[in-house]
Amino acid sequence: MKIHIDIDCFFVSAARIIDSSLENKPVAIGGRSDTQIFDSTAKNQSVNLENSGSFVPTFFKSYEESDDDRDSFKDADGRIRGILTTSSYEARAYGVKTAMSIKEALVLCPKLIIKAPNMSLYQKLSHELHEFLQSRIPLIEQASIDEFYGDLSGWISDEDIPQFIDSLRHKIKKELKLPVSIGAANTRYIAKLATTYAKPFGCKTIYPHDENRFINPIKVDSFAGIGRSMSERLKSAQIHTLGDLKARRGTVESWGPYAKELYKRVNGESDAPIQTSHKRKSIGISRTFDPLYDRAELRRRVHVLARHLSFAILKLEVIPTVFHLSISYEMNQKSHKNISLCEIFTEKKFDSLCLVLFNEADNQRRLHAIRLSINCSSFTRDSKKELSLIGFAEEQKMKKLTDFSQNLREKYGIDTLKWGSELC
């Protein structure tokens, strides 16, 4: 059988490990786009290349201790900005939810304790749990910073699984101080669903003969892979529960390959093997900010984002060949531009390329911009594209300078060296 392990309210649980006074209190972790990245005096920026998941940024500002973390979410005018990335069960009792604005949450629960995110701590705890699980289960897959899958086939007999996962969650709580919930089933998809109904700090095993009784009454939007658009399509066809979905195979499968695969997952007919390692296929950086019209300032911000993304690409030791830049404007307008390029990656060339993409993408120049995004993908190790040899010798010289800059930043921080164009 497969098991799914999920850390309960991970960010809050992590905060409670270093501050036990937060136990049994309504606590929430705030999140806000780190626009301080654009300040000429910006420092203490960190990069995360190991884990992903909701509200887990690639780039983040290092955590700083504060007596009142609410100050971290105040803008220049003293207004509290940002959303919640997670909340404790005590806070949820007041109606506080993930992705809710901090301002709205404080209205529902005035005594809510808001803590700033501490990504370094989350990464450390996630890594420790991964190592702990690897020492006890032959095949472990880390799906995100707080989610893991395991394969117990041939390791633990099916009848012993309930006792095994119950013992496992208590050992994790005792040794790592992290509360987890664990679901077990014949497929990873049903196991993940079981975890949802095991929370908080519980475990649930679904045997094949119990699947229909467990699955049938559950609402369709509770199943991983059924997003808003698919949920609306199902409901428009009078398919409200997973039982309804299973009974309407012909209807669902007529919607195409994705819906056909989705049906198989719900019906327990499809599964995926445990992958002990994942290859990153793309990497990007984006920031949302207050409406900004000044194009010179927007171009400066492109330079800042390009420098950070270049650092991550060089750290991954890959060469991207597809580059994408998008701009979001006020009034829900968007624009984007992409290009394919198979050449040696250097920071200077990448910086210039991002600026070209921005100038070409910026086709709504009468509007204020509110978001910039840069994404790189199709790494040469995956795409098997051949690099151009044009100007190869000159590129090698620039590569040496790039490597030198990278070494300095690795040692002293991302903000050690900046482009002069960033400081204007």
Q: Tokens 């394969």 belong to which residue?
A: 151
d(CA 309, CA 284): 7
Residue 344 is predicted with a pLDDT of 83
pLDDT band at 57 (very low <50, low <70, confident <90, very high): low
Indicate the fold that domain 282-423 takes in CATH.
Dna Ligase; domain 1 (3.30.1490)
Three-state DSSP at 335 gives: strand
Question: What residue type is 143 in one-letter code?
Answer: A
d(CA 366, CA 107): 37
Cα 25 from chain centroid (whole Å): 26
CA distances to 64, 98, 206, 224, 370 from 219, rounded to whole Å, are: 41, 20, 17, 11, 36
d(CA 234, CA 221): 9
Q: Using alpha carbons only, what angle is made at residue 115 by residues 117 and 372, rounded to the nearest 5 degrees? A: 40
Three-state DSSP at 44 gives: coil
Please write the tens of the pLDDT for every residue from 103-159.
Answer: 999 999 999 999 988 888 998 999 999 999 999 998 999 998 999 999 999 889 999
pTM above 0.85? no
d(CA 234, CA 240): 7
Residue 382 is predicted with a pLDDT of 47
Strand order in the sheet with 27-31: 83-87, 27-31, 113-115
Calculate mean pLDDT across residues 82-107. 93
Phi, psi angle pair for 115, to nearest 5°: -115, 145
For 67, residues 6+ apart whose C-beta sits below 8 A from its C-beta are none
Give me 351's structure tokens.
């910086």
d(CA 48, CA 57): 7
Q: Tokens 């060469």 belong to which residue?
A: 319
Please write the tens of the pLDDT for every residue from 323-339.
Answer: 999 999 999 999 999 99
Query: In the CATH scheme, what is the code of domain 9-121?
Result: 3.40.1170.60
